Amino acid sequence: MSDRLADVCVVGGGFAGLMAARALTRAHKEVVVLEARDRLGGRVHTLSFEGAPLDLGGQWIGPTQDRIERFARTEGFDTFVTHGEGQHLYVSGNKTKRFAGTIPPLGPLALGWLGYGWFELDRLAKQVPLDAPWTAKRAREWDGQTLATFLDRHVRSGSARKMFRVAIETVFACDPEDVSLLHALFYIHAAGNLDMLLSTDKGAQRDRFITGAQPVAERLAENGGATIELDSPVRRIEQLRDGVRVSASRMTVRASRVIVAIPPTLAGRIDYDPVLPAARDQLTQRMPQGSVIKCLAVYSEPFWRREGLTGQSLSSDGPLHVTFDASPKSGSPGVLLGFLEGTSARKLADRSTEERRAIVIDNFARVFGARAKNPIHYVDRCWASEPFTRGCYAAYLPPGVWTSYGAALRTPIGRIHWAGTETATRWNGYIEGALQSGERAAAEVLAELA
């Protein structure tokens, strides 16, 4: 096997790795990107059906996500606003209600508690320093409890708590029982506030790429000029006296430094020589990926629009708790998007696509009526089953991890630097965070190479 030579080797061809590679090639460094899959984009993957792009992974960008917005604009990737004309649906048992905006039509008491919990989370989130959440004044207290414990204590209405569960699933792809309150507060603060995370018309679900999202990642690669090697899962990273040797299945790259830009749990599976320090290894033992299955049903037209519906719905019944209109800009064909998240995703992850299809289509029909029963196409993606992702949207931190291991998250180890959206301080978990992390890791490397 021949050794390839480069200044820097980047592990992972998602937005984080590609952004790092681009920043380095712009500074005239030779870069080899090793990507495990036969495609670029990582957690972003666009298929097409009869000419219409179908995003099976990340698809949205929104206000204050400046890096991705700027890159897309410069490179001529036009966006359009997620279909929002009409009313959303709120489904509870046999009842379906129409509503507008982010807040579902609950009773006044539940709405009061929903508002109070929302306000408290936003208020506490602001107290979490984004670059070092473990230094928050109340860090130990917040990191010692789950988000479920917070809701139990502060939201004294069952229906308001149910809505919070849905909101938390939608953001973290896990249940409130799984995640540290401190992590939830950090994540909210990293996005700005809860509304930025949850809102479609004013937040993270606002804009979509006309081409779908994956071509944007591909452009980032072309634009960067690094050498890209697909089908190259990295198994081993050796630190030598004067550089690193990164071994993938088909090739070995020798470089001065390496940037590892893959989910933390996968970074922890690489064989390192010398072995990594305890703090880093134990950190990656404690950063599980969320659980989400993204489900898309294609119809000859977006029939719900003619009934004055946006295609957005909310329900605590499930298994789908939220849906969106994912039709292309033209509106033809019509595409309904449903997310299976947290427990729903875990229950259905290891079923066949056919079984899931039946369950999901039945759920769409319960929300949008009989016309939803006969899609012309169905596709879904269980990200936890993907060996080179193992869960989406991102890693979440269970209780105790930020306060005990947070300092190990970005700290380079010798010649190894860490990128990936999980290492971002703004829009952690999003494409924007991936880009920020790539920039930051590239800057670290450039400072060392200078």
Contact 55, 393 (CB under 8 A): no
281 forms part of the interface with a copy of itself (CB under 8 A): yes
Q: Which residues contact 105 (CB under 8 A, 6 or more apart)?
A: 90, 97, 98, 99
Block residue for tokens 């990293």: 190
148 forms part of the interface with a copy of itself (CB under 8 A): yes
Q: Can you name the residues that pair with 95 across neighbouring β-strands?
A: 92
Which position among 231, 385, 448, 449 is part of the footprint of a copy of itself (CB under 8 A)? 385
Helix ranges, 75-157 (H) = 108-125, 139-143, 147-154
252 forms part of the interface with a copy of itself (CB under 8 A): no
Q: By rule CB under 8 A, what string of x and - marks binding of each residue 159-188 to a copy of itself? A: ---------------xxxxxx---------
Task: Report how many residues bind a copy of itself under the rule CB under 8 A.
Answer: 48
Which position among 63, 225, 400, 414 is part of the footprint of a copy of itself (CB under 8 A)? 400
* Candidate ranges 31-39, 42-50, 279-287, 442-450; the one touching a copy of itself (CB under 8 A): 279-287
Contact 292, 393 (CB under 8 A): yes
Give least dist CB 230 to a copy of itself, A: 18
Q: By rule CB under 8 A, what string of x and - marks binding of each residue 106-145 to a copy of itself? A: ----------------------------------x--xxx
Which position among 96, 199, 332, 343 is part of the footprint of a copy of itself (CB under 8 A)? 343
* Candidate ranges 38-46, 73-81, 329-337, 378-386; the one touching a copy of itself (CB under 8 A): 378-386
**Closest C-alpha among 364, 365, 319 to residue 342:** 319
Residue 341 structure tokens: 């998240």
Give the CA radius of gyration of the chain. 22
> In degrees, to the nearest 5, what angle opens at C-alpha 170 toward C-alphas 106 and 177?
90
398 forms part of the interface with a copy of itself (CB under 8 A): yes
Give least dist CB 105 to a copy of itself, A: 27
Q: Which residues contact 108 (CB under 8 A, 6 or more apart)?
A: none
Residue 217 structure tokens: 């990642």
Give least dist CB 45 to a copy of itself, A: 17
Report the C-alpha gap between 122 and 212 in whole angstroms: 32
Report the C-alpha gap between 388 and 406 in whole angstroms: 24
Contact 204, 64 (CB under 8 A): no
Contact 440, 264 (CB under 8 A): no
Which position among 399, 406, 420, 429 is part of the footprint of a copy of itself (CB under 8 A)? 399
Which position among 79, 205, 265, 313 is part of the footprint of a copy of itself (CB under 8 A)? 265
146 forms part of the interface with a copy of itself (CB under 8 A): yes
Give least dist CB 404 to a copy of itself, A: 5
Identify residues 287-306 at the interface with a copy of itself (CB under 8 A). 287-289, 291
Report the C-alpha gap between 354 and 350 in whole angstroms: 12
End-to-end CA distance of the chain: give it in Å, rounded. 31
C-beta of 178 vs 439, nearer to a copy of itself? 178
Q: Given the rule CB under 8 A, which residues bind a copy of itself?
A: 140, 143-146, 148-149, 152, 174-179, 235, 265, 268-269, 271, 275, 277-279, 281-282, 285-289, 291, 343, 346, 349-350, 382, 384-385, 387, 390-391, 398-401, 403-405
